Chain A
Amino acid sequence: MNNVNFLKPNKENLNLFLFLGTIFFGLGLIDFCLNNFYEKNITSFLPSFVSFFTPLIFGMIGLHFIRIEFSGIKFLDELNKNINTSNFNAALSISIIILIIFSVAPLLNWFILDATFFGDSKEACTGSGACWVYIKTWFNRFMYGMYPNAEQWRVNATFIIVLGLMAAGYFFPLKYKKYLTFYYVILLPIISFLLIYYLISGGEFGLEWVETGAWGGLSLTFIVSFFSLIFCFPIGMMLALGRRSDLAVVKYSSLSFIEFWRGVPLITVLFMSAVMFPMFLPDGTYVDKLIRVIVAITLFEAAYTAEVIRGGLQALPRGQYDAAKSLGMGYWRLHLLVILPQALKLVIPGIANTFLALVKDTPLIFVVGLLELVGMLNLAKTNPKWLGFSMEGYVFAGIIFWIICYSMSKYSQKLELKFKTDR
């Protein structure tokens, strides 16, 4: 056997060091797990301060032993390169591993192992984990708000049709592609509005009328974000063009509009739409709460969209303007045919981010008394039959929002990459 220097692990004694390292590392983990989950301290003979850090110390010794460069074992080299480059890195890695074990185990227990999945009343929930029965019972309410159970197919049908119409743009034959913008900006909003008006709201064609106050849950989140997005886009575009205009009045009115909405929090805007706006209308006119909210959010988001689009307009080289002008194009033709198509392509990720913010902002509409998903949770939480399950509710809503927002942000990142290659 060669000389063994424990301070300098080397390749000659690879197996010995691997063996020692694994043992120490394992010892650290076992010590930690025993300490935390079985309340047994195998190192209790040491002073409490040292004993507390034994998992870290054991783990670091273990990782030190296996830190052998060019060992020839692929897995070991990868491991060393990624989490074990120095003592400091090793300490951080171990802390993270311990943290993960420490947090994942109880979460797993709460989410699945100790959770109750079956049953139909609060009494079924006897375990110490989550009570998913609560979510199951309230699922319809969380999705549709106070919308009557028997009529919920109407909401579903509307969403399916609108989604289908949105996807239809993909399958346009080449000949009609030039009408795509027209379809998305003008036709689709109108059709969707009519659909929502006649199908969800009802009141005609033998459908029972459901007032907007009864709408709620996740479907309301979608309705509000959908319309706000559709309307805020053209307004934002006009504002962005206005802000870059040479005409002083147009420029400064756009500027003050944008800066005003960007400077105030959404909650005050909603307050305004709820209590201040009715004062500004002729006596006796009543505008539906939902419409007021959509208008408020639209104006709010339009200011943000305008700034995003302005970024795209600024990113275009001057040559584009000059070239278009030299062809004799006027202001509108120049912008509609040359500038905007290029600028909008640049800002698609930015728009997606704005939309993401919009979706995350929709829960705020509770201040005017509209209850989307989070609002419904707060309502369900106070139901005397189902007290004490707020955690499950928030976790459930968190997961749903996370899925929506995360997939959207991933999609926008993909778009960003896709458009990056063009220029």
Chain B
Amino acid sequence: MKFKKILPQFLTLLFIVLIFGFFTMNAQENMDTRGIEFGFGFLSKEASFDIQFSLIDYDGSMSYGRAYLVGLLNTLLVSFIGIILSTILGAVIGVARLSPNYLINKTASFYVEFFRNVPLLLQIFFWYFAALRALPMPEDAPLIFGSSFMTIKGLYTPAPIWNNLDVFMIALIVAMIVIYFFNKFAKRKQEEEGKQYPKFLISLGIFVILPALTFFVGGVDVTWSFPELKQLAKTSFTYEGGLGIPPELIALTLALTLYTATFIAENVRAGIQGIGKGQKEAAASVGLTPGQVLKLVVLPQALRIIIPPTTNQYLNLTKNSSLAAAIAYPDLVLVFAGTAMMQTGRAIEIVGITMATYLTISLTISLFMNWYNKRIAIQEK
């Protein structure tokens, strides 16, 4: 009996060790013949390549480590924007698919069936190479909303210039802490005395008023810098000032959002459909208003169904953002596994670091999700 348990485990272990050993030995040998030494020292060497779009200060004289950071931040940026937009769009479409209105229902399902069944890479290419290339040149671009320009070179919008931004941020954080304690207090009051406060309104008030106060007392101040057309050469124009969003980022965000939103919409639909009619009727019959039914009965249960697969979609979106490399948006893959690897030739280290980074993001979110799932799971007796 014991033997029966040990043998398969031993064989598995042997198999793994053999494969890893074989690979390591070969890698060692190959690196020896090519005169490369395994190590991460290259990270502090000068990168000497430029990155088109960066959230932090970066130029060619900085290290590969810094370039890695730039790529990572760009990946996180596009994932963050994509997650927020696709959640909003997905929720709207998911609800629309449940609408009794035939036209809305069908339009929503057309959208879902269409964007879900076309490869994401193709969609990215479409937006970047076909749709955004049809935009006007900077000098011909019309004004949008009185201050922005949508051109072939990207979107130019006014950018805020802050004075004492840190005071404002501290106010925001303080506001959130106050809201947290207020909600705790309100919950306790309700449980002890049955007294209800307009929680949402008061929270919103705190959230708006506290940061707004800093404009009057904290010396916080915002001025806007507007994009202005500037002639570089006879036929070459560009915009200066303001905030320039490169077309790569726009195309990538658009494609990721439209693609992921279809999956989120399906999750939302399944979640809401998963709530039995009896739940709503029972809630209504004990005298809850429709708003309360939604807030206290339907949403808490629907969210329990919606959130796990939706987090999976967030993970997918983050991983899919690596397709950025195809349209030269400087994300982690393009900057690090592309340019940096070409220059250093350190395939094993760089691909390893890139994969480890994505793995860390994925595993962190999965662990968090497992914890969250356990928390919201129905406590069965």
Contacts of B354 in A (CB 8 A): 268, 271
When chains A and B are docked, how far (Å) is the Cα of A284 from the Cα of B44? 33
Count residues of B near A (Cβ-Cβ below 8 Å): 58
When chains A and B are docked, how far (Å) is the Cα of A366 from the Cα of B124? 14
What 0/1 readout, one digit per residue, does chain B (339-377) give for beta carbons within 8 Å of chain A? 001000001100110110011001100100000000000
Is B1 interfacial (CB-CB < 8 Å)? no
When chains A and B are docked, how far (Å) is the Cα of A366 from the Cα of B122? 12
Nearest CB in chain A: distance from B316 CB, A: 9
Is A287 interfacial (CB-CB < 8 Å)? no
Contacts of B341 in A (CB 8 A): 275
CB interface residues, A 57-94, toward B, < 8 Å: 82-83, 85, 89, 92-93
Nearest CB in chain A: distance from B294 CB, A: 17
The segment from A135-143, A152-160, A248-256, A312-320 found at the interface with B is A248-256
Contact B114 A402 (CB under 8 A): yes
Task: Give the nearest-CB partner of B356 in chain A.
Answer: A264
Contact B363 A249 (CB under 8 A): no
Contact B130 A394 (CB under 8 A): yes
When chains A and B are docked, how far (Å) is the Cα of A381 from the Cα of B133? 13
Contact B355 A264 (CB under 8 A): yes
Task: Give the nearest-CB partner of A242 in chain B.
Answer: B12
Contact A259 B363 (CB under 8 A): yes
Contact B9 A249 (CB under 8 A): yes
Contacts of B102 in A (CB 8 A): 82-83
Contact A272 B325 (CB under 8 A): no
Contact A283 B104 (CB under 8 A): no
- Main SS of the interface on chain B? helix
The segment from B27-35, B49-57, B216-224 found at the interface with A is B27-35
Is A22 interfacial (CB-CB < 8 Å)? no
Contact A93 B117 (CB under 8 A): no
Task: Give the nearest-CB partner of A221 in chain B.
Answer: B119
Q: Which of A264, A366, A398 contacts B118 (CB 8 A)?
A: A398
Is B41 interfacial (CB-CB < 8 Å)? no
Is B23 interfacial (CB-CB < 8 Å)? yes
Contact B118 A405 (CB under 8 A): yes
Contact B122 A401 (CB under 8 A): yes
Nearest CB in chain B: distance from A25 CB, A: 14
Contact B16 A253 (CB under 8 A): yes
**Most chain-A CB neighbours within 10 Å: which of B23, B103, B123, B131?**
B103
Nearest CB in chain A: distance from B52 CB, A: 19
Contact A268 B31 (CB under 8 A): no
Given contacts A264-B358, A268-B358, contact A394 B325 (CB under 8 A): no
Task: Give the nearest-CB partner of B24 in chain A.
Answer: A280
Contacts of A260 in B (CB 8 A): 359
Contact-residue size bin, chain A (C-beta under 8 Å from the other chain): 35 or more
Is A11 interfacial (CB-CB < 8 Å)? no
When chains A and B are docked, how far (Å) is the Cα of A406 from the Cα of B363? 32
Task: Give the nearest-CB partner of B347 in chain A.
Answer: A275
Is B311 interfacial (CB-CB < 8 Å)? no
Task: Give the nearest-CB partner of A408 in chain B.
Answer: B117
Is B238 interfacial (CB-CB < 8 Å)? no
When chains A and B are docked, how far (Å) is the Cα of A100 from the Cα of B103? 10
Given contacts A92-B101, A93-B104, A268-B351, contact A374 B122 (CB under 8 A): yes
Q: Which of B8, B119, B121 contacts A247 (CB 8 A)?
A: B8
When chains A and B are docked, how far (Å) is the Cα of A405 from the Cα of B29? 45
Contact A96 B104 (CB under 8 A): yes
When chains A and B are docked, how far (Å) is the Cα of A250 from the Cα of B118? 38
Given contacts A96-B107, A264-B355, A401-B122, contact A250 B12 (CB under 8 A): yes
Contacts of A100 in B (CB 8 A): 107
Is A360 interfacial (CB-CB < 8 Å)? yes
Contact B103 A276 (CB under 8 A): no
Contact A397 B122 (CB under 8 A): yes
CB interface residues, B 95-117, toward A, < 8 Å: 100-104, 107, 113-114, 116-117
Task: Give the nearest-CB partner of A97 in chain B.
Answer: B103
Contact A82 B323 (CB under 8 A): no
When chains A and B are docked, how far (Å) is the Cα of A349 from the Cα of B13? 34
Task: Give the nearest-CB partner of A392 in chain B.
Answer: B130
Contacts of B23 in A (CB 8 A): 280
Is B320 interfacial (CB-CB < 8 Å)? yes
Contact A267 B27 (CB under 8 A): no
Is B337 interfacial (CB-CB < 8 Å)? yes
Contact A394 B122 (CB under 8 A): yes
Given contacts A279-B27, A394-B130, contact A363 B122 (CB under 8 A): yes
Pick 24 A–B contacts, CB within 8 A, sort by A: A93-B101, A96-B103, A100-B107, A253-B12, A263-B359, A268-B354, A275-B347, A276-B347, A276-B352, A279-B26, A279-B30, A280-B30, A282-B26, A282-B29, A362-B119, A364-B323, A366-B326, A367-B325, A374-B122, A374-B125, A394-B122, A394-B125, A394-B126, A409-B113
If A249-B12, A276-B351 are given as contacts, then 5 extra A-B residue pairs at C-beta distance below 8 Å, sorted by A number, are: A271-B351, A363-B122, A394-B125, A402-B114, A405-B118
Question: Which residues of A are interface residues toward B (Cβ below 8 A)?
Answer: 82-83, 85, 89, 92-93, 96-97, 99-100, 246-250, 253, 259-260, 262-268, 271-272, 275-276, 278-283, 356, 359-364, 366-367, 374, 377-378, 381, 390-391, 394-395, 397-398, 401-402, 405-406, 409
